[in-house]
Amino acid sequence: VKMDQALLLVRNEMSARGFGLAARSGACHRCPYQLLAVVPPSEGGPSVAVAVDTQHPLSLLLNGSLAGSELCKIQYHFGEFGNYSLVVKTRSTTAKTVYCDVVVNESPINSYLPILFAFLVFVGILAILIICRLLMKIDPVRNWVHKKLNPRETDRLINSELGSPNTTDSISSDPAPQLWRATSQQRLRSLDTFRGLSLVIMVFVNYGGGKYWFFKHESWNGLTVADLVFPWFVFIMGTSISLSLNSVLRWGSSKRKVLGKIFWRSFLLILLGLIVVNPNYCVGPLSWENLRIPGVLQRLGLTYLVVAVLELLFTRAGADSGTLEMSCPALQDILPFWPQWIFILMLEVIWLCLTFLLPVPGCPRGYLGPGGIGDFGNYPNCTGGTAGYIDRLVLGEKHIYQHPSCNMLYQTTVPYDPEGILGTINSILTAFLGLQAGKIILSYRDQHKQIMNRFFIWSIVLGIISAVLTKCSKEEGFIPINKNLWSTSYVTTTSCFAFILLLLIYYLVDVKRLWSGAPFFYPGMNSILVYIGHEVFENYFPFKWKMRDSQSHAEHLTQNLTATTLWVIISYILYRKRIFWKI
C-alpha cells in the first residue's frame, strides 16, 4: 500500500453467495459508491485484498448479485499502513441476514507523530533564541553584538521604503505633525510579519506540506490551512496599497506619475507569472500551445491594478487622517470613500449575476459543484459551473490549469483553473477589505485601542455574513466556502480570520512590542523574491533531494520544512545585507 492507504482483506464466509464491495469517501459530497472489488463465495477462493483511503472516513457497501440488493453497510476510518479484515458472514446457514465487521490485523502507524516531533524541534529552537535575547540584555554582550551588526543603518533603509506611514508622511497641513512624528518612528512591522507568515505557510504548502491532506487545498467546498494563505496575502497587499499610496501622495507625487507606476508594477507581476512561474514548464519548453494564462502572480497583478487605481482615483486629501469634519466620526474610515464601496458592490453584483444567472450548456443554472462524480455524476462536465465555462470559452482548455484539486476525489475530466477570470472579481473584494484595514490604521493614527476595536468589529461583521451565506454548513449553504470558485463566503470567512490575525500581530508587535515579528518579518520584507525563488528552485538541491522512502510522511515533512526554513534564512541574510527586491 502507498501513503494514506491501508490494506483491507475481504473475507467472505458465506459459502454460496458472492458480492460486490463498493466504497464512498466521507469527503465526497453527493457521490455514488465506487466499486472496489468483486468478492466470490468462500468456496471460490481466498480473501480479496484491496487498498483503501485513510485520509477520511469511508462508507463500505456490500451488494449482492441481484441489482440493488444491499447486503451490508459499514462506516469506518482506517489508519495509515494498517492491515484490516472485513469479515462477512451470516449467523447460520439458513439465516438471510448478513453481518459484516472490521477486524484489525496489524495496527496502523501514527502518521501525525512527525508533526509533533517537528513542533518540538522548532520549540527548542525558539527557546534557544529566547535565551539569546535574554543574553542581549546584558550590557557587555549587547554592546559587542551591536558593534558587530550595526542594525541602525538597516532600520533606516527599511523605514525609508514605500509602504508604511512614518515621519516623512507628515505635511504642514497636518494638525498634529509632532505627535505623528514622535510616535511613528518605525515601519509597522506587523504588516510585514503578517505578509511573511502568509508567505511562509504558502511556501510550505506549495512544497507539499508533508503530504498531509490538511496542508493541501480542499477538493471542493470547505477550508484547509492551505486555503487560507493566498487570500491572506491578497488581503495584506490591499492594506499595503492604502499605506503606500498615502505615503507617496504626501510626498507630493502627482497622481499621473503614480498611476504609471501602478500599471508598470501590474504588468511586471503578470509577466513574471506567465513566463517565470509557469507550472507547464514541467511538460516541456514553454510554448503558446500549453501556456497557462491564469496564475497566482497574474491574479495578484490584476487585483493590485484594480484596487490601487480605485484608491488613487477616489482618495481624498485629509480623509485618511481624520481631518475632515464628519457627521458620523465612527464611520470616518468608510463614508469618505463611498464611491469605492459603490464600485466594489457593483463588481460583486456582476459576480453574483454571472454565477447564478448565466446559462451554461449542459449544466443547471447557478451550478456551483465540482462535476465529475459529484452530484451523483449527473453533471460530469460542469466543473465550476459558470466560472469554468467562462475560462474554457475565453482562454481555451489548453491555457488553464489541467489538474484541479477536485480531480482525484471527484474524478473530474475537464480542466479547471482556481485562478480564473470570474474568481478574480472576488479577489478584488478581498484586497479591498485589506485596503479597509489600511484606512483604519491611517484614520486612527496611533490610537491603538481604536484600531484594534475596528479590526475586531470588522471580523465580527464578516463572520456573521459568512454564517448567513453558508448556513454554518460546509455543503448546504446559499454560497459554500470554496477556494476554487473564490466564492463570496470564502472571501468573508478568510477576511474575518485575516482581521483577527492582524489584530493579534498588531497588538503583539507594534503595540506591546512583545514580539519582533521574527522570523516571519524577514520573508515579509522580500515577499516577491521569496515567492518567485521558491517556485523557480523548487526541484533543485538543497530544496529537494531523492528520498529513501517516498511513501513516508516523515521524510516529506522533513524535506518541506527544510526547504521552507532555508527560504526564511535566505530572507534574513538578504535583510542583513540590505537587499530588498521591489517591483
Closest CA to 190 of 236, 229, 132: 236
Which residues touch 371 (CB under 8 Å, ≥6 apart)?
A: 379, 380, 381, 382, 383, 384, 388, 406, 410, 412, 414
Distance CA 76, CA 53 (A): 11
Asked whether 508 and 448 are in contact (CB, 8 A), the reply is no
Give yes or no for a contact between 169 and 180, defined as CB atoms under 8 angstroms apart: yes
CB neighbour burial string for 521-550, b if at least 16 within 10 angstroms, e if fewer: bbbbbbbbbbbbbbbeebeeeebbeeeeee
- The 10 Å CB-count burial string (b at 16+, else e) for 367-388 is bbbbbbbbbeeebbbbbbbbbb
Which 3-state string (H, E, C) describes 275-297? HCCCHHHHHCCCCHHHCCCCCHH
CA nearest to 538, candidates 286, 203, 212, 215: 203
Does 217 qualify as catalytic in the annotation?
A: yes
Q: Is the N-terminal amide bond of 519 cis, ω within 30° of 0?
A: yes
Question: What strand order describes the sheet that includes 5-12?
Answer: 48-53, 5-12, 83-90, 98-106
The residue type of 295 is G
Q: Tell me if the bond preceding 175 is cis, omega within 30° of 0.
A: no
Beta bridge partners of 101: 87
- Spot the catalytic one: 217, 399, 534, 553: 217
d(CA 257, CA 264): 11
Whole-number Å distance between alpha carbons of 462 and 481: 13
Euclidean distance between CA atoms 72 and 443, whole angstroms: 64
- The helix/strand/coil state of 509 is helix
Is residue 463 within 8 A of residue 268, CB to CB? The reply is: no
Q: How far is CA 73 from the centre of its chain?
A: 36
d(CA 80, CA 293): 38
Q: How far apart are CA 6 and CA 4, in angstroms?
A: 7
SS3 content of the chain, % helix, strand, coil (to 5): 55, 10, 35
Distance in angstroms (rounded) separating the CA atoms of residues 399 and 280: 10
Quick check: 446 and 452 in contact, CB under 8 A?
A: no
Closest C-alpha among 297, 286, 303, 304 to residue 534 = 297
Strand locations in 91-204, DSSP E?
98-106
The three-class DSSP label of residue 512 is coil
Beta strand 19-25 pairing with 34-39: antiparallel
Kindly list the catalytic residues.
217
